[in-house]
């Protein structure tokens, strides 16, 4: 074991310290520009995404917001800074490459008519549409080249305008919050007097030194971290904000003083602010989410009244998915009360590997915040949230990753009544998911748990062997007796979006069918004949209507049920045309039971929107496509899933090929496998350890697990815990066995943890150096998910060209 461990580390260090030499240069760079595929594939890529829906409180209006198609590579070349694990646009102080909305349509729910709104920006680029609690006003951020503007739509007057000259700071997310008077808007804003941006010194002032002396501080592989004093100065500059209050007339007042605020929230009464402030010193080893912070309650003048927590730098959390800080966390206002805080504190030191009967305790504290916090409940696992209806009724959720356990408790926050268990289940068992409780607005227009005569109303996905059939249930909180009120029925896929009046059975739903794009409807579940459309969306890609889609079921050799979504070319007849070349696209997932691993996701009645991101577009090129083929990795009993990762990949691969061949649609001698991210890692492993496929496509993956030594994906063991596991699961160390043609695609600016671009570059070097057939495509300016139109079209072209050569036309 020690010898093997030494080999792993030695090879990893060799990769790290070897000066980088472009793999393309070593191979002889291919002289190529951005390529475009056939017009039918271009049309698929250019189809606009489905619109988003934002239902106004009160149920009178719904905003239908359009989204643009793919941006250009020039858009991706906009200014970008990478600081503390995130990427921002320094020109307008928002997230980098923000996905904005480019059209607003306001629909009157009562009669499906469109409302006229004057004054919207000519070139709408909207972020964070946020309704006031009475549904009269909609605030949003308008992206301009050099600022993020605050806009307000007055729905009653049909008018939109810039609300003030305040420049929003959107680097942390949505900076907007409405006060309870529905007139006053709070904004996290760029400080009005922040001065000029810090300039990088031409000459370094000092070396960069970090030090550790015996303190255990493991960390997974993060990207875009702070690296020097100038990065710290930029972080201070762009992440600092001031909290601004804008009254109904657009007049502003600054609350407190500028600082690096990561979050703020108004109490339901709008009398207090809960403010989280990032503290120095910063870290070069972990992202901003783990920086030291304080969370305080302020009055509306910016005076701190109570400190909830003073959390130190969280760079020493155990490598475990249920590891948490050992200070108050998940701090929030109880929505039903004027000003009552709720938070959790770990009782096991934050380390789930430590034995403990109680892992978390949940507390609350009400204004004026001078009493001792009241304990609400002790939990055997991790606190996962509280949903309140009143001081007599709230639901508390707890979960644990290691055993997939979930419990929901009924508590009485303002009394001493003992907690009552509502349900206990495995959250990875989607077939038994009881759903999510509906919320409503109380008399103060606060969003609280909907309770009707001792019952809650639940909506869920309705997963089953036949696919998802969303539902609405009514559940007795005392007895647990559940009545199904409504369920989506074939040939439609319909899911509730918002309750207009749940007690009377009125809902807004999103409804679609195989060849009918999603639209919004008003549904009375007590009167099905009254179903009424709010929107009417044209088919975004009519040329693909005749592509066939089918949910298929099969078993692997150990009897585990599996499934995939099969796409077949338009007009295909297996008797006439025979078996087709086939692409299998998958993503491995870990499970702790065979029952959970066998469960089906998705619905056969969802709109058949052919994706450019997944390989569905290949159905237009004469391929059968096995999309979302289940790739379960199961660990039973004391065994962990990854203990037999390679063996289960092979069983899964054999099963899906056999399934296609048994249907008569797949030529088993002409099958490719592919995947993105962890699916790319899967692809390289399958090619390294089997000869089942003719080609592979691996996009933005990680292939050398010694370069992610403190865990990866859902693996919590480190390389020092089990070096043999890291060696065995790394296709890089089996590159001499990759003889099947492998196409590697990666964004040059990948920001995902662990999937550094060098992972693809190094695997390419290894396969090439060992005589394999491989091609490396590095997409400029692209992150983990590719966005530019030029990049997407080129990716499609590379995919078709590779598969045509090595699969479709394979001898």
Active-site positions read 677, 750, 784
- Is residue 281 reached through a cis peptide bond, with omega within 30 degrees of 0 on the bond before it? yes
Quick check: 409 and 361 in contact, CB under 8 A?
Answer: no
- Residues 448 and 456: their CA atoms lie apart, in Å, by 12
Of all residues in the chain, what percent are helix, strand and coil, respectively (each to 5)?
20, 35, 45
- Is residue 373 reached through a cis peptide bond, with omega within 30 degrees of 0 on the bond before it? no
- Residues 480 and 423: their CA atoms lie apart, in Å, by 8
How far lies 679's CA from each of 22, 230, 631, 713, in Å? 25, 37, 9, 11
- Residues 72 and 68: their CA atoms lie apart, in Å, by 11
Quick check: 588 and 597 in contact, CB under 8 A?
Answer: no
Phi, psi of 740, deg, nearest 5: -75, 135
Quick check: 498 and 60 in contact, CB under 8 A?
Answer: no
- Residues 708 and 605: their CA atoms lie apart, in Å, by 40
Residue 309: burial class (beta carbons within 10 Å; 0-12, 13-18, 19+): middle
C-beta neighbour count of 740 within 10 angstroms: 23
C-beta neighbour count of 675 within 10 angstroms: 27
Question: Can you read off the two tokens belonging to residue 805?
Answer: 């050569």
Element holding 16 (H helix, E strand)? helix 2-17
DSSP 101: B
Element holding 143 (H helix, E strand)? strand 137-143
Can you state the angle between helices 645-663 and 678-689, rounded to 10 degrees? Answer: 90
Spatial CB neighbours of 240, under 8 Å, sequence gap ≥ 6: 169, 191, 194, 258, 259, 260, 261
Quick check: 793 and 36 in contact, CB under 8 A?
Answer: yes
Quick check: 66 and 54 in contact, CB under 8 A?
Answer: no
Quick check: 159 and 153 in contact, CB under 8 A?
Answer: yes
Question: Can you read off the two tokens belonging to residue 159?
Answer: 């008018």
- Residues 610 and 607: their CA atoms lie apart, in Å, by 9
Q: What is the dihedral of CA 560, 563, 564, 570, to 10 degrees?
A: 130
Quick check: 95 and 136 in contact, CB under 8 A?
Answer: no
- Residues 607 and 515: their CA atoms lie apart, in Å, by 6
Classify strands 482-487 and 293-298 as parallel, antiparallel or unpaired.
unpaired
Helix/strand/coil for 785 = coil
Residues in the chain: 811
Question: Can you read off the two tokens belonging to residue 689?
Answer: 């350890």
DSSP 48: P
- Residues 710 and 716: their CA atoms lie apart, in Å, by 8
């Amino acid at each position: 074991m020690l010898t093997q461990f030494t080999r792993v580390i030695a090879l990893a260090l060799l990769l790290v310290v070897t000066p980088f030499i472009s793999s393309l240069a070593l191979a002889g760079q291919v002289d190529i520009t951005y390529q475009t595929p056939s017009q039918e594939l271009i049309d698929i890529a250019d189809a606009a995404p489905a619109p988003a829906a934002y239902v106004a409180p009160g149920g009178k209006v719904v905003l239908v917001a359009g989204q643009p198609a793919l941006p250009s590579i020039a858009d991706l070349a906009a200014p970008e800074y990478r600081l503390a694990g995130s990427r921002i646009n320094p020109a307008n102080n928002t997230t980098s490459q923000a996905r904005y909305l480019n059209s607003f349509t306001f629909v009157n729910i009562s009669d499906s008519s469109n409302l006229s709104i004057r004054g919207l920006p000519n070139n709408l680029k909207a972020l964070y549409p946020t309704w006031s609690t009475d549904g009269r006003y909609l605030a949003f951020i308008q992206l301009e080249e050099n600022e993020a503007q605050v806009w307000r739509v007055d729905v009653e007057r049909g008018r939109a305008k810039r609300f003030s000259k305040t420049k929003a700071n959107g680097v942390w997310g949505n900076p907007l919050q409405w006060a309870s008077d529905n007139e006053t808007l709070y904004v996290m804003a760029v400080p009005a007097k922040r001065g000029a941006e810090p300039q990088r010194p031409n000459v370094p002032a000092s070396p960069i030194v970090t030090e550790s002396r015996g303190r255990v501080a493991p960390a997974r592989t993060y990207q875009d971290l702070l690296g020097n004093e100038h990065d710290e100065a930029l972080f201070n500059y762009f992440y600092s904000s001031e909290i601004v209050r804008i009254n109904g007339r657009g007049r502003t007042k600054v609350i407190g003083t500028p600082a690096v605020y990561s979050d703020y929230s108004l109490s339901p009464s709008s009398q207090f602010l809960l403010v989280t402030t990032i503290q120095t010193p910063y870290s070069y080893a972990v992202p901003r989410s783990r920086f030291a912070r304080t969370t305080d309650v302020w009055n509306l003048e910016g005076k701190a009244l109570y400190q909830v927590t003073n959390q130190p730098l969280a760079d020493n959390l155990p490598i475990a998915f249920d590891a948490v800080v050992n200070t108050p966390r998940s701090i929030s206002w109880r929505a039903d009360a004027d000003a009552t805080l709720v938070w959790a504190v770990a009782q096991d030191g934050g380390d789930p590997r430590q034995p403990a009967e109680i892992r978390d305790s949940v507390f609350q504290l009400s204004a004026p915040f001078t009493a001792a916090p009241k304990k609400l409940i002790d939990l055997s696992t991790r606190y996962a949230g509280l949903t309140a209806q009143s001081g007599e009724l709230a639901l508390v959720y707890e979960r644990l990753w290691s055993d997939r356990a979930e419990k929901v408790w009924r508590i009485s926050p303002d009394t001493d009544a003992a907690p009552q268990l509502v349900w206990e289940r495995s959250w990875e068992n989607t077939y038994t998911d009881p759903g999510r409780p509906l919320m409503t607005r109380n008399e103060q227009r606060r969003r609280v748990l909907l309770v009707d005569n001792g019952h809650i109303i639940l909506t869920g996905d309705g997963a089953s062997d036949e696919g998802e059939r969303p539902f609405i249930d009514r559940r007795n909180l005392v007895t647990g007796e559940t009545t199904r009120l409504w369920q989506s029925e074939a040939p439609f896929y319909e899911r509730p979006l918002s309750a207009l009046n749940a007690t009377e059975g009125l809902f807004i739903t999103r409804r679609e069918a195989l060849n009918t794009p999603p639209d919004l409807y008003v549904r009375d579940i007590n009167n099905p004949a009254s179903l009424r459309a709010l929107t009417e969306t044209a088919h975004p890609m009519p040329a693909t209507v005749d592509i066939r889609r089918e949910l298929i079921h099969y078993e692997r050799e150990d009897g585990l049920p599996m499934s995939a979504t099969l796409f077949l070319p338009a007009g295909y007849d297996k008797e006439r045309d025979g078996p087709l070349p086939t692409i299998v696209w998958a993503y491995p997932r870990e499970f702790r039971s065979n029952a959970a691993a066998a469960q089906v996701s998705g619905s056969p009645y969802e709109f058949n929107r052919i994706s450019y991101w997944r390989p569905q577009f290949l159905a237009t090129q004469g391929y059968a496509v096995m999309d979302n083929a289940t790739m379960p990795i199961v660990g039973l009993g004391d065994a962990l899933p990854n203990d037999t990762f390679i063996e289960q990949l092979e069983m899964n691969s054999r099963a899906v090929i056999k399934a296609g061949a048994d249907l008569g649609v797949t030529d088993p001698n002409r099958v490719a496998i592919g995947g993105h991210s962890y699916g790319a890692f899967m692809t390289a492993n399958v090619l390294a350890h089997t000869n089942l496929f003719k080609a592979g496509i691996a996009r933005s993956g990680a292939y050398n697990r010694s370069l992610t030594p403190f865990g990866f994906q859902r693996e919590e063991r480190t390389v020092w815990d089990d070096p043999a596991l890291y060696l065995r699961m790394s296709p890089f160390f089996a590159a001499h066995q990759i003889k099947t043609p492998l196409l590697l695609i990666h964004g040059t600016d990948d920001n995902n943890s662990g999937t550094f671009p060098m992972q693809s570059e190094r695997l390419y070097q290894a396969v090439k150096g060992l005589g394999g057939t491989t091609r490396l495509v590095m997409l400029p300016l692209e992150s983990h998910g590719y966005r530019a139109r030029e990049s997407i079209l080129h990716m499609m072209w590379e995919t078709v060209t590779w598969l045509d050569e090595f699969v479709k036309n394979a001898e």
